[in-house]
Amino acid sequence: MFKNILIPTDGSELSQKAAAQGVGLAKALRAKVTAFFAAPPATPIVYRSSLPVGYTTRGEHEQMIEKTAGEYLGYIEKDAGIAFDGVHVTSDYPEESILKVAHNKGCDLIVMATHGQGGLRGVFIGSVTQKVLNQSKIPVLVIRGE
Q: Rounded CA gap, 21 and 67, in Å?
A: 24
What letter represents residue 108's amino acid?
A: D
3-state secondary structure of 118: coil
Cα–Cα distance for residue pair 30/138, rounded to 1 Å = 19
Cα 114–Cα 89–Cα 4 angle in degrees, nearest 5:
65
Separation between Cα atoms, residue 132 and residue 107, nearest integer Å:
14
- Least Cα distance to 38 among 13, 15, 14 occurs for 15
Q: Across residues 107-118, what is the average pLDDT?
A: 84
Cα 16 from Cα 112, distance rounded (Å): 9
Beta bridge partners of 32: 4
From the CB of residue 134, how many other CB atoms can be counted at a distance below 10 Å? 10
- pLDDT of 2-57, one tens digit each? 999 999 999 989 999 999 999 999 999 999 999 999 998 888 777 777 677 888 88
Distance CA 61, CA 43 (A): 7
Which pLDDT tens digit goes with each residue over 61-91? 889 889 999 999 998 988 778 899 999 999 9
Q: How confident is the model at residue 118 (pLDDT cuts 50, 70, 90)?
A: low
Enumerate residues 6+ apart whose C-beta is below 8 A from 100: none
pLDDT level of residue 60 (50, 70, 90 thresholds): confident
What is the reported pTM?
A: 0.86
Given this model, what pLDDT does residue 116 score? 62
* Averaged pLDDT for residues 138-142: 96
